[in-house]
C-alpha cells in the first residue's frame, strides 16, 4: 500500500505542467540569446518571415494578385506600404506571399536532399566495399558540376514548376551530405558499442537504425540548418532567370526580374524590397545555422 502511494505521488510530481514547460523554454531561449547573440538575431529574422507566411491571409489586403490600374507604379504610402508594381499589385502582399513560396521550396528541398544524403551516407559508411565505391563515385559525378549550373540544366530539361524546382535544388544538396555523414559513420564504426552490437549478433539494419542514425543526427541537423539559406537563394536565382517557380506564384526572384528591371529607375522599390527580403531571410538562416553548429559541435563549444 505504501509502495503504491509512493509511486502515485512520484507520478503526480511528473505530471505535465504548461507553466514549467514555458519557464524551461524561456530559460533555454534566454541562454541561447546570451551565448549566441548573432544566432539569436538570425532566429528573429527567420521567425519574422515564418510569422509573415502563416499570417499572410490576414495581413495582406488587397491580395498579391489584385490589380489596380489607378495605382500603377505608386511609391510606398500608408495604403501601399511597399508601393505597387507595373500592374498595380500591392508589393507588400507579394512580398508576404513570397515568403511562403521561399520557405516551402527551401525546406522541401533541404529535407529531400538531406534525407537522401543521410541514408546514402549511413549505408556507404557502414557497408563499405563495393557499395561504398558505387555511392562515392555517384557523388563525385554530381559534385563535379557547380550545384547552380546543375540545377539550371535540370530545369531546362524538366521545365518550370515548384515541384521541379525542389527536385533540382535537392539534387545539388545530397552529395555533400553523403560525404559528411559517411565520414562520421566511419569514425563511429570503430567505437566499442558498435563492436559490441556486432558481437551479440545485431543485424546491419539494427546497427544502422538503432546505433548509427541517432549519433549522426546532430551533424545532419547542422548541415540542414546551414543549407536552408543556400536553398532559398538558389530558388530566387532560378526564378530570376525564368526557370524557377512560375507565375502566378509571387516569387521574390521573379519580382527582381522582368518589370523590376525595366522600371528600376522610376520605381526602385520594385527591386529594393524583394532584394531586402531575400537578404534578410538568407542572412537569418546563415547566422542561426552557424550558432547551431557552435552549440552542437563539442569541438567548438566555449568559443
Question: According to the 3-state scheme, what is the secondary structure of 109-139?
Answer: HHHHHHHHHHHHHHHHHHHCHHHHHHHHHHH
Asked, for residue 1, whether it belongs to a domain, the answer is no
**CATH code at position 89:** 1.10.3720.10
Please tell me whether residue 90 adopts helix, strand or coil conformation: strand
Q: How many domains does the chain have?
A: 1
Asked, for residue 222, whether it belongs to a domain, the answer is yes
Asked, for residue 78, whether it belongs to a domain, the answer is no
CA end-to-end span of the chain: 54
The distance between the two most distant Cα atoms of the chain, rounded to a whole number of Å, is 84
Whether pLDDT at 32 is above 70: no
Asked, for residue 34, whether it belongs to a domain, the answer is no
Q: How far apart are CA 282 and CA 42, in angstroms?
A: 9
Whether pTM exceeds 0.95: no
Asked, for residue 147, whether it belongs to a domain, the answer is yes
Residue 51 C-alpha from the chain's centroid? 16
Residue appearing with cell numbers 526580374: 257
Helix, strand, coil share of the chain (percent; to 5): 75, 0, 25
Q: What is the mean pLDDT of residues 263-274?
A: 88
Tens of pLDDT, residues 172-230:
899 999 999 999 998 888 888 888 888 888 888 888 888 888 888 888 988 888 889 99
Asked, for residue 64, whether it belongs to a domain, the answer is no
Asked, for residue 90, whether it belongs to a domain, the answer is yes
What pLDDT shows up at residue 280? 94
Asked, for residue 143, whether it belongs to a domain, the answer is yes
129 is in which domain, residue-wise? 39-55+84-300
Run of H or E residues at 200:
none
Tens of pLDDT, residues 94-128:
999 999 999 999 999 999 999 999 999 999 998 98
Q: How many CB atoms lie within 10 A of CB 300?
A: 11
Q: How far apart are CA 166 and CA 275, in angstroms?
A: 21
Helix spans in 159-242 (H) = 162-171, 174-188, 192-199, 204-206, 213-240
Amino acid at each position: 500500500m505504501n509502495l503504491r502511494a509512493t509511486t502515485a505521488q512520484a507520478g503526480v510530481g511528473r505530471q505535465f505542467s504548461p507553466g514549467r514547460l514555458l519557464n524551461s523554454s524561456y530559460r533555454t531561449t534566454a541562454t541561447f540569446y546570451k551565448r549566441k547573440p548573432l544566432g539569436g538575431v538570425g532566429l528573429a529574422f527567420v521567425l519574422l518571415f515564418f510569422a509573415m507566411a502563416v499570417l499572410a491571409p490576414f495581413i495582406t489586403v488587397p491580395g498579391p494578385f489584385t490589380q489596380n490600374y489607378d495605382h500603377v507604379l505608386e511609391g510606398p504610402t500608408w495604403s501601399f506600404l511597399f508601393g505597387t508594381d507595373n500592374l498595380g499589385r500591392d508589393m507588400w502582399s507579394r512580398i508576404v506571399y513570397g515568403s511562403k513560396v521561399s520557405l516551402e521550396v527551401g525546406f522541401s528541398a533541404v529535407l529531400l536532399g538531406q534525407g537522401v544524403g543521410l541514408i546514402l551516407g549511413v549505408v556507404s559508411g557502414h557497408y563499405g566495399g563495393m557499395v561504398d565505391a558505387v555511392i562515392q563515385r555517384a557523388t563525385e559525378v554530381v559534385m563535379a558540376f557547380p550545384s547552380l549550373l546543375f540545377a539550371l540544366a535540370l530545369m531546362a530539361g524538366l521545365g518550370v514548376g515548384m515541384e521541379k524546382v525542389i527536385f533540382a535544388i535537392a539534387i545539388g544538396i545530397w552529395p555533400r551530405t553523403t560525404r559528411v555523414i559517411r565520414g562520421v559513420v566511419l569514425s563511429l564504426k570503430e567505437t566499442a558499442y558498435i563492436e559490441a552490437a556486432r558481437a551479440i549478433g545485431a543485424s546491419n539494419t539494427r546497427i544502422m537504425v538503432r546505433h548509427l542514425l541517432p549519433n549522426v543526427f546532430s551533424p545532419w541537423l547542422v548541415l540542414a540548418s546551414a543549407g536552408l539559406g543556400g536553398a532559398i537563394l538558389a530558388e530566387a536565382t532560378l526564378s530570376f532567370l525564368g526557370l524557377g517557380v512560375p507565375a502566378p506564384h509571387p516569387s521574390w526572384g521573379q519580382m527582381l526580374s522582368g518589370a523590376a528591371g525595366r522600371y528600376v529607375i522610376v520605381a526602385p522599390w520594385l527591386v529594393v524590397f524583394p532584394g531586402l527580403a531575400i537578404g534578410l531571410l538568407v542572412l537569418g538562416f546563415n547566422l542561426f545555422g552557424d550558432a547551431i553548429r557552435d552549440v552542437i559541435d563539442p569541438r567548438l563549444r566555449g568559443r
